[in-house]
Amino acid sequence: MSAPTTFHGWLCHGKDEPMKWEEMKLRAEDDYSVDMDITDCGICGSDIHTMDANWGQPRYPVCVGHEIAGICTRVGSKVRNVKVGDRIGVGAQSGSCHRPECTACSTGWENLCRTQFTGTYNGVWPNGDKSYGGYADKWRGDCRFVFKIPDNLSNEVACTFFCAGVTTYGPLKRHNVNSDSVVGVMGIGGLGHYGILWAKAMGAKVVAMSHNDKKHDVALELGADDYIVTSDAESLAKYKGKFSHILCTGTGQDFKWETYVRLFSPNGIFINVGLPEWNFPDISPMLLAMSQVTICGSAIGSPAEIEDMLRFAAKTGVKPYLQTYPMKDAPQAVADFKAGKPRFRYVLKN
């Protein structure tokens, strides 16, 4: 049977323009390519930022969506990790250079490849074809960034792991969160709720952190052991010198390092995974030195981390809070997302 050459998807042609369901050309096949009939695609804040040109000028038209799950329908001659009929998924990255001289790729950190990082959408494949995402009926990409979904995870649950899930799981695992850890999770949204779920499953004491008390009840429902309002000095004072880690998934422009650095126990780790449209303030060298805190960021996750996360989720039963929409209602789902309605992930279904 000949390979399909086109797909149908929701295309955005410009900032503030409505998405349109249109036919577009699939990337060319090669020995490592995998075809997927999409069943589910999560909505990520990155989708909105891209369509709205908040992170630079997109390669319009764009078809966004990088939390994709579906059924494998075709594989190239060198594909060994998945086969036709498997339930599979892909996340925010679909390609890297794989060159032995690339320090990132050769050491298992393909997510940090600076030579040929191919985003699942709004990117360009090495052959010059554009990459398109999962607000669509079909997807074709590189098998080295495609993952088999465990039997006990549904596609609608698993798709959200491939971006939001690994963005929060990866750094918590990498920085050794365990039963001795006290983890603060800043921002209780699509990423933050995952942070609570992962940290609890890793055995940590978890403290949800938000600028008001509106998400108090749901944070405890998710498994948080405590909740603090970051605008309340008395609430913050309870945890002075207590946190081993803070996972920052979101904060306001009133953020001050002095407020949070004092919350760490010795050698604490501040992990930022949020991508606001503004920069963090400067930090004084004296404050940094005398706190001995590590400030770091994290970019999605490597393929190895994604595999590890899927095994961990299958073993522990971690599942996100999500709401589904038919793929035909993607414009409404995006509008609801922009209105701040998700609790906490939206998934489009074919």
Give the separation between CA 116 and CA 44, rounded to whole angstroms.
Answer: 23
Percent of the chain with pLDDT over 90: 98
SS3 content of the chain, % helix, strand, coil (to 5): 30, 30, 45
Q: What are the structure tokens assigned to 138, written together?
A: 């079909």
Superfamily of domain 6-149+320-349: Medium-chain alcohol dehydrogenases, catalytic domain (3.90.180.10)
pLDDT of 3 reads: 85
- What's the pTM value of the predicted model, to 2 decimals? 0.96
- The single-letter DSSP state of residue 18 is P
The residue count of the chain comes to 350
Kind and range of the H or E run holding 313: helix 303-316
User: pLDDT (tens digit, 9 = 90+) per residue, 36-64?
Assistant: 999 999 999 999 999 999 999 999 999 99
DSSP 117-157: -EESSS-B-TTSPBP--SSBSEEEEEGGGEEEPPTTS-HHH
> Are 13 and 56 in contact, with CB atoms under 8 Å apart?
no
Give 102's pLDDT tier (boundaries 50, 70, 90): very high
User: pLDDT (tens digit, 9 = 90+) per residue, 158-172?
Assistant: 999 999 999 999 999
Q: What are the structure tokens assigned to 253, written together?
A: 């422009």
Give the separation between CA 24 and CA 312, rounded to whole angstroms.
Answer: 37
Residue for token digits 């390669």?
59
* CATH number for the domain running over 165-297: 3.40.50.720
Model confidence at 2: pLDDT above 80: no
User: pLDDT (tens digit, 9 = 90+) per residue, 252-274?
Assistant: 999 999 999 999 999 999 999 99
Q: Residue ranges of the domains in the chain?
A: 6-149+320-349, 165-297
pLDDT of 320 reads: 96
Give 291's pLDDT tier (boundaries 50, 70, 90): very high
